[in-house]
């Protein structure tokens, strides 16, 4: 595509890739997904995040975004909130295929398989766009090589906000190669907090009451078997972390693997 006038007015900053938007899907007035080209030589581990940005009034504005596509994918996928007056998302929500998006060259993050000690069952607890790093990990064969069972929980305000997660699980079921690795190891537990639905309530309440485990037909959290990853708002992270610690799981990091890891769901 021909370069736009702005491209000349705002040169790409150093240490930054400029990639092309391939697709944009709007789910609700608060949520959208987009894909873009993956730079040659850009490597990341499934579950990591990158700094994504746009040139706005001649200045690059960046925010952290979990990469929602798996490490093997040809394209990069992101799942984003639309913050009405957000310095980045108020502009990012208007992108169209062919537009240019910036990405800093170095990905990072703690929601990686390497930050956990070996276990049998992996829980991924997410709220809102916090599902994004897990969208990456549930499409990575390594997740299923390391765990006998993978339980993805996703809690949103209303049913429309769950659609990204349902589409994702459907995509996995329809992907012959991936399905061979995933088999029946993946469970998707979706709940809402502000509307009627089959499953309702905050994940923290569902853990506390034990309803999560009875619904899934699995035993309560056990540090010998269960591992956890948490991604959501600050309050959700804190409350979920407290419950995992109460069950005897310890927080780990890249440098010191343990039974669970945490990442903020980024907005702005
Ligand atoms: P609630 O509707 O009770 O606030 P948001 O879209 O605001 O990020 O919220 C996503 C989901 O996270 C909502 O279902 C919300 O429930 C839930 N949530 C908010 N705070 C917490 C918390 N401290 N612990 C667990 N879930 C939370």
Give the end of a domain, one of 104, 132, 148: 104
Helix segments in the chain, DSSP class H: 5-9, 89-92, 132-137, 141-146, 163-174, 176-182, 203-209, 211-216, 234-246
- Cα–ligand 1 centroid distance for 133 (angstroms): 18
Q: Are residues 235 and 164 in the same domain?
A: yes
pLDDT of residue 217 exceeding 80: yes
Q: What is the mean pLDDT of residues 196-221?
A: 98
The pLDDT, as a whole number, for residue 13 is 83
Q: Are residues 121 and 96 in the same domain?
A: no
- Euclidean distance between the first and final Cα of the chain, in Å? 29
CA atoms of 242 and 263, how far apart (whole Å): 15
Task: Please report, rounded to a whole number, the percentage of residues in the chain having pLDDT higher than 70.
Answer: 95
The pLDDT, as a whole number, for residue 267 is 58
The pLDDT, as a whole number, for residue 268 is 45
Substitution site in 193, 197, 240 for ligand 1 pocket (most atoms within 8 Å of beta carbon)? 193
Ligand 1 pocket, Cβ-based, cut-off 6 angstroms: 127-128, 155-157, 193-194, 202-204, 232-233, 235-236, 239
Q: Which atom of ligand 1 sits closest to the CA of residue 235?
A: 23
Compute the mean pLDDT over every residue in the chain, rounded to the nearest whole number: 95
Looking from the CA of 152 toward its CB, the CA atoms found within 13 Å total 25
CA 268 to chain centre: 16
The pLDDT, as a whole number, for residue 2 is 52
Q: Are residues 10 and 47 in the same domain?
A: yes
Collapsing DSSP states into helix, strand and coil, what is residue 110?
A: coil
pLDDT of residue 9 exceeding 80: no
123 φ, ψ (degrees, to nearest 5)? -95, 135
CA atoms of 129 and 166, how far apart (whole Å): 13
Q: Are residues 217 and 248 in the same domain?
A: yes
pLDDT of residue 117 exceeding 60: yes
Q: What is the mean pLDDT of residues 99-107?
A: 97
Q: Which atom of ligand 1 sits closest to the CA of residue 192?
A: 14
Q: Are residues 123 and 141 in the same domain?
A: yes
Give the range of the structural domain holding residue 10, as residue numbers without chain letter: 5-104
Q: Are residues 144 and 258 in the same domain?
A: yes
Collapsing DSSP states into helix, strand and coil, what is residue 220?
A: coil
Collapsing DSSP states into helix, strand and coil, what is residue 245?
A: helix
Task: Please report, rounded to a whole number, the percentage of residues in the chain having pLDDT higher than 90.
Answer: 92
| ipTM computed for the complex | 0.99
Give the end of a domain, one of 52, 75, 104: 104
Substitution site in 211, 236, 241 for ligand 1 pocket (most atoms within 8 Å of beta carbon)? 236
Q: Are residues 159 and 121 in the same domain?
A: yes
Q: Domains in the chain: how many in total?
A: 2
Q: For the segment 38-50, what is each residue's pLDDT rounded down to a tens digit?
A: 999 999 999 999 9
CA atoms of 68 and 260, how far apart (whole Å): 20
157 within 8 A of 28, measured Cβ to Cβ:
no
């Amino acid at each position: 595509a021909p370069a736009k006038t702005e491209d000349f007015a705002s040169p790409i900053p150093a240490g930054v890739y400029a990639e092309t938007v391939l697709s944009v899907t709007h789910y609700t007035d608060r949520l959208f997904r987009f894909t873009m080209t993956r730079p040659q030589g850009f490597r990341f581990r499934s579950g990591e995040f990158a700094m994504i940005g746009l040139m706005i009034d001649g200045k690059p504005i960046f925010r952290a975004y979990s990469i929602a596509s798996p490490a093997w994918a040809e394209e990069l996928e992101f799942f984003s909130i639309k913050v009405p007056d957000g310095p980045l998302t108020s502009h990012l929500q208007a992108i169209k295929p062919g537009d240019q998006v910036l990405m800093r060259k170095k990905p990072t993050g703690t929601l990686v398989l390497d930050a956990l000690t070996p276990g049998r069952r992996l829980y991924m607890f997410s709220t809102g766009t916090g599902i994004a790093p897990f969208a990456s990990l549930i499409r990575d064969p390594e997740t299923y090589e390391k765990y006998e069972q993978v339980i993805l929980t996703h809690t949103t305000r209303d049913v429309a906000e769950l659609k990204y997660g349902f589409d994702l699980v459907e995509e996995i079921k329809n992907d012959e190669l991936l399905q061979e690795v995933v088999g029946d190891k993946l469970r998707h537990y979706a709940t809402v907090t502000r509307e009627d639905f089959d499953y309702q309530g905050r994940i923290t309440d569902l853990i506390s009451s034990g309803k999560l485990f009875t619904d899934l037909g699995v035993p309560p959290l056990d540090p010998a078997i269960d591992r956890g990853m948490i991604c959501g708002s600050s309050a959700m992270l804190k409350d979920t972390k407290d419950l995992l610690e109460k069950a005897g799981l310890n927080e780990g990091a890249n440098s010191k693997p343990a039974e669970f890891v945490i990442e903020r769901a980024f907005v702005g």
